[in-house]
């Protein structure tokens, strides 16, 4: 049986699936945790990849693809050594750099038109400006800039390559035109370091020393879209470390408000996407505060029909959409009669989903149709999330069989690169 593998190197962990190349059936899986924090040395992702694939997990695999958390700034010096730990998508220290870059180009509309997004701290371009301003000695050593999935692909193949999906999240790549905007990178960083070559969706990146083919890889949300085989009218809500709401569009959908990022997908289309900083970890933090397991949090939230007037503003890690990097969370409208653990549990689920509901409205405002929601990610396993989501979104919500859709999408891309045909599974 011919095998392909897909990797999801996301914020909290690495997951690997090995599939039958013809049917897509999963035959083996592995996983390993990443360290916590918004600044992580890329070696940790390589360690996690090796741990997740230990004991022959990749034995017999002909082709492998890597999906990775978007936007993280990986910097290499002229000897290909990592210059500093990567700043991740959820690191908000470059919020001021984002504001400055917006002003310097003439406003949000100019950015949305140039690269399909309006800078916020998450995007690579703002992290590079931060580096140039705050760590000029390190900045001067930077020879190459890449993203987390590019770095893993490079570790596997030695090739400095990326795909248009992940490149579209940098803030210096125009997916609409298929070109790097070196002028914007120069504005942010003062010069243009070596950038990964952007591969076509089915173009292989290269081979591992053992001869395994490696596909282009992509960002984790693009890989999830590929894994789900998204169609028109489908909107995905992913509840992982980030909360994302996205769908496939045939054309770029610029949004001057900055709520919707006009990313590219992994097939040649676009992937308008709204991202919040506070998703599954709102539930884990609330469960921790209440001293209960996640399953008990679900039971508590479902034991009441509403939160009794409590409103949980879930900005525990600051927020990206809306752009409030320094915000904190709040529990509002407390009264002696409504301060029960059950109401707090319910308010946490409602508050977290509320941010994603606002994301759905923002997607509709740029013209994306939403006939149904597909709910995925670790947080989609929550019974309370599954039950309350239809009320919040106002459209039918389907929960596909629990699976690692990012890793599956990466495996599907690996099969595509290997056979030259998009797999039918």
Among residues 96, 48, 94, which one has the least CA distance to residue 71?
A: 94
Gap between the Cα atoms of 231 and 393, Å rounded: 19
Residue linked to tokens 């409205």 = 361
Question: In this structure, are residues 40 and 180 in contact, taking their beta carbons and an 8 Å threshold?
Answer: no
Gap between the Cα atoms of 387 and 240, Å rounded: 17
**DSSP β-ladder status, 61-68 and 3-9:** parallel
What are residue 234's phi and psi, to 5 degrees?
-90, 130
Is there a binding annotation on residue 71?
yes
Number of residues engaging ligand 5SP in binding (CB under 6 A):
17
- Give the interface segment with ligand 5SP, choosing from 152-160, 207-215, 240-248, 296-304 (CB under 6 A): 240-248
HSE toward the beta carbon, residue 122, CA cutoff 13 A: 25
- Give the interface segment with ligand 5SP, choosing from 69-77, 321-329, 348-356, 362-370 (CB under 6 A): 69-77
Among residues 12, 76, 15, 16, which one has the least CA distance to residue 38?
A: 12
- Give the interface segment with ligand ADP, choosing from 9-17, 106-114, 148-156, 172-180 (CB under 6 A): 9-17
Name the binder of 89 from ligand 5SP, ligand ADP, none, CB < 5-8 A by kind: ligand 5SP
Binding mask 161-180 for ligand 5SP (x = CB under 6 A): --------x-----------
How near is the Cβ of 407 to ligand ADP at its closest, in Å? Answer: 10
Q: 3-class SS at 109?
A: helix
Among residues 57, 44, 76, 56, which one has the least CA distance to residue 16?
A: 57
Q: Which is nearer to ligand 5SP, 11 or 75 (CB)?
A: 11
Q: Which is nearer to ligand ADP, 243 or 423 (CB)?
A: 243
Tell me whether residue 220 is one of the annotated catalytic residues. yes
Of 100, 202, 220, 265, the active-site residue reads 220
Tell me 78's DSSP state: T
Interface residue with ligand ADP among 153, 162, 241, 323 (CB under 6 A) is: 241
Gap between the Cα atoms of 288 and 285, Å rounded: 5
Q: Is 10 in the site for ligand 5SP (CB under 6 A)?
A: yes
Q: Which residue is nearest to ligand ADP (CB)?
A: 378
Residues 245/372/374/345 CA torsion (nearest 10 deg): 80
Name the binder of 66 from ligand 5SP, ligand ADP, none, CB < 5-8 A by kind: none
Q: List all residues 6 or more positions away from 254 whose beta carbon is below 8 Å from its beta carbon.
A: 112, 113, 116, 262, 366
Question: Encoding tokens for residue 84?
Answer: 């500093």
- Give the interface segment with ligand 5SP, choosing from 65-73, 106-114, 154-162, 200-208 (CB under 6 A): 65-73
Q: Which is nearer to ligand 5SP, 71 or 346 (CB)?
A: 71
Gap between the Cα atoms of 414 and 156, Å rounded: 14
Question: In this structure, are residues 109 and 144 in contact, taking their beta carbons and an 8 Å threshold?
Answer: no
Q: Between residue 106 and residue 125, which ones bind ligand 5SP under the rule CB under 6 A?
A: 122
The CA R_g of the chain, rounded to the nearest whole Å, is: 21
Q: Is 69 in the site for ligand 5SP (CB under 6 A)?
A: yes
Gap between the Cα atoms of 223 and 234, Å rounded: 15
Q: List all residues 6 or more positions away from 181 whose beta carbon is below 8 Å from its beta carbon.
A: 114, 115, 172, 173, 174
Name the binder of 284 from ligand 5SP, ligand ADP, none, CB < 5-8 A by kind: ligand ADP
Q: Is 35 in the site for ligand ADP (CB under 6 A)?
A: no
How near is the Cβ of 357 to ligand 5SP at its closest, in Å? Answer: 17
Tell me 355's DSSP state: H
How near is the Cβ of 72 to ligand 5SP at its closest, in Å? Answer: 8
Phi-psi region of 211 (alpha: psi -120 to 50; beta: other; left: phi over 0): left
- Give the interface segment with ligand 5SP, choosing from 26-34, 113-121, 154-162, 234-242 (CB under 6 A): 234-242
The packing angle between helices 280-290 and 341-365, to 10°, is 170
Interface residue with ligand 5SP among 4, 5, 11, 14 (CB under 6 A) is: 11
Q: Is 215 in the site for ligand 5SP (CB under 6 A)?
A: no
HSE toward the beta carbon, residue 224, CA cutoff 13 A: 31
Q: Is 12 in the site for ligand ADP (CB under 6 A)?
A: yes
Q: Is 31 in the site for ligand ADP (CB under 6 A)?
A: no
Q: Is 241 in the site for ligand 5SP (CB under 6 A)?
A: yes
Binding mask 263-292 for ligand ADP (x = CB under 6 A): -----------------xx-xx--------
Residues annotated catalytic, as ranges: 220
**Chain contacts with ligand 5SP (rule: CB under 6 A):** 10-11, 69-71, 89, 122, 169, 219-221, 240-242, 244, 273, 275
**Chain contacts with ligand ADP (rule: CB under 6 A):** 10-13, 240-241, 280-281, 283-284, 294, 377-379, 381-382
């Amino acid at each position: 049986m011919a095998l392909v593998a897909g990797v999801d190197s996301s914020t909290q962990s690495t997951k690997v699936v090995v599939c039958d190349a013809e049917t897509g059936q999963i035959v083996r899986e592995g996983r390993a945790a990443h360290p916590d924090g918004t600044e992580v040395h890329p070696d940790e992702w390589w360690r996690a990849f090796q741990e997740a694939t230990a004991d022959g997990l990749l034995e017999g695999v002909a082709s492998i693809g890597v999906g990775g958390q978007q936007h993280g700034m990986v910097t290499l010096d002229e000897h290909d050594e990592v210059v500093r730990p990567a700043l991740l998508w959820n690191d908000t220290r470059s919020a001021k750099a984002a504001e400055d870059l917006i002003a310097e180009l003439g406003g949000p509309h100019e950015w949305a038109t140039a690269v399909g997004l309006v800078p916020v701290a998450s995007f690579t371009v703002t992290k590079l400006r931060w580096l140039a301003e705050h760590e000029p000695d390190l900045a001067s050593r930077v020879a190459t800039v890449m993203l987390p999935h590019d770095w893993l692909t490079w570790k596997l193949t030695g090739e400095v390559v990326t795909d248009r999906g992940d490149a579209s999240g940098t803030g210096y790549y125009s997916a609409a035109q298929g070109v790097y905007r070196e002028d914007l990178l120069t504005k942010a960083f003062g010069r243009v370091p070596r950038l990964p070559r952007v591969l076509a969706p089915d173009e292989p990146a290269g081979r591992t020393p053992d001869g395994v083919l490696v596909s282009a890889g992509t960002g984790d949300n693009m890989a999830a879209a590929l894994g789900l085989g998204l169609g028109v009218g489908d909107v995905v809500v992913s509840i992982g470390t980030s909360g994302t709401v996205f769908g496939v569009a045939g054309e770029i959908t610029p949004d001057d408000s900055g709520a919707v990022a006009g990313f590219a997908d992994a097939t040649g289309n676009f992937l308008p996407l709204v991202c919040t900083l506070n998703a599954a970890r709102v539930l884990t933090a609330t469960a921790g505060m209440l001293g209960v397991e996640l399953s008990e949090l679900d039971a508590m939230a479902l034991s009441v029909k509403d939160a009794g007037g409590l409103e949980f503003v879930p900005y525990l890690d600051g927020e990206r959409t809306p752009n409030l990097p320094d915000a904190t969370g709040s529990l509002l409208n407390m009264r002696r009669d409504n301060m029960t653990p059950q109401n707090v549990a319910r308010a946490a689920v409602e508050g977290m989903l509320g941010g994603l509901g606002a994301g759905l409205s923002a997607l509709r405002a740029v013209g994306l149709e939403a006939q149904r929601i597909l709910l995925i990610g670790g947080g989609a396993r929550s019974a309370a999330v599954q039950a309350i989501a239809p009320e919040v979104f106002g459209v039918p919500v389907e929960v596909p069989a629990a699976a690692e859709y990012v890793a599956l999408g990466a495996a599907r891309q690996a099969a595509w690169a290997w056979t030259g045909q998009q797999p039918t599974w």
